[in-house]
Amino acid sequence: MIDVGLIGFGFAGRTFHAPVVSAVDGLRLAAILQRHGSEAERAYPTARVVRTLDDLLAIDSLRLIVIATSNTSHFELARQCLEAGRNVVVDKPFTTNYAEAAELVRVAQKQQRIISVYQNRRWDGDFLTVQRLLADDKLGRVVLYESHFDRFRPHVKDVWRERPEPGGGLLFDLGPHLIDQTLLLFGTPDAIAADVRIERTGAIVDDAFDLVLYYPNRRALLRGGVLVSTPTPRFAIQGVQGGYLKYGLDPQEDALKRGETPSSEFWGYEAPERWGTLLETQGDSFVKEQLPTLPGDYRRYYANVRDAILGTAALAVTPESALNVMRALELAMASSERRCAVNWKA
């Protein structure tokens, strides 16, 4: 049994981390650092609730620390946990810049500890379906990969994600998911072009972005916005042998927001009316079918971290992949500021 300590019991901690960790065999949510309030104690009465990082690190049994706090705090909290000899999971984005991320990787290597970023959306059902389609070569060579993460939130809120501080804004909030998935599928691009902008009246940090990742024989178009009221595809993929079109986000997020826990045998299954459409060439025409979405399961992220700590599996979300996401974010910001594409190896 691996005892886990969770730092932060805001939206990310209580929605995306605590219930998922608690549902994974071999992991025990043993302690929660919540500086104020009693929500953690009520929700997880068997976990020890502490108020300071020193108190958390004083619990010798903790082998894994999960950091689910504001972006600007990630670096210092992760550094202290690593130097205290703990394995660390950091919620996305890894840090607010590449230099900080690289320093954390260096410390983790020195301490011989695991560090990983919570890229749970590798285990979205629709993304798993896309991976399967490409692995089975159902579409042939992909020439255009389009991925959206859109919402309709027209009102600006006074929360840290919407304040002008390092790591704020939509690109650093949702961009890491889209970028990580793309790099996992196609590797690092030759160049990146981006338009990172503000669309809502009164907003002071970016709330919309378009990224183009340039590959030798394909393009990846990644888009996110919060003023999107009409349906946009979650995935629209075009290949020389067909295409795949999928609307709607993976159901796990909404289920977690409703307070459900990943325990039932139907967890992560998507209703048939939300399945994507696969078109495959047959001569000069297409064969069209509704393709069942593979079940998603965020528990698989933490199960992999568990196994990596135990030495029985390779880490899935590696420090190298986390650094590549940070590099892509910084190149995107530079591209948007310069109004031109920037080379990956520049």
pLDDT digits (tens, 9 = 90+) for 48-104: 999 999 999 999 999 999 999 999 999 999 999 999 999 999 999 999 999 999 999
Give the list of residues 6+ apart from residue 295 with CB closer than 8 angstroms, or none: 125, 128, 267, 268, 269, 270
pLDDT at residue 163 greater than cutoff 90: no
Q: What dotted CATH number matches 2-118? A: 3.40.50.720
Instruction: Report CA dihedral (52, 157, 151, 12) to the nearest 10 degrees.
Output: 10
**Residues comprising the chain, all counted:** 346
pLDDT at 162 (0 to 100): 85
The CATH number that domain 121-296+327-343 falls under is 3.30.360.10
Q: Count CB neighbours of 269 within 10 A.
A: 17
Place of tokens 């005892």: 3
Please answer whether residues 28 and 51 qualify as being in contact, where contact means their C-beta atoms are separated by less than 8 angstroms: no
CA distance 248 to 131: 17
Question: What's the token pair of residue 104?
Answer: 């954390």
315: which residues sit within 8 A by CB, 6+ positions away? Answer: 114, 116, 304, 305, 308
CB 85 within 8 A of CB 113: yes
Q: What is the largest CA-CA distance in the chain?
A: 68
Helix/strand/coil for 222: strand
Gyration radius (Cα) of the chain, Å: 20
**Global pTM value:** 0.96
229 near 199, Cβ under 8 Å? no
Q: Is 177 left (phi over 0), alpha (psi -120 to 50) or beta?
A: alpha
If you average pLDDT over every residue of the chain, what do you get?
96
**Structural domain spans, the chain:** 2-118, 121-296+327-343
Confidence of residue 326 (pLDDT cuts 50, 70, 90): very high
Is 2-118's fold the same as 121-296+327-343's? no
| Type of residue found at 205 | V
Q: How confident is the model at residue 282 (pLDDT cuts 50, 70, 90)?
A: confident
Burial of 36 (0-12, 13-18, 19+ CB in 10 A): exposed
SS3 194: strand
Which burial class, exposed, middle or buried, applies to 253 when counting CB atoms under 10 A from its CB (0-12, 13-18, 19+)? middle
Q: Convert the pLDDT of each residue in 182-216 to its tens digit.
A: 999 999 999 999 999 999 999 999 999 999 999 99
Question: What pLDDT score was predicted for residue 286?
Answer: 84
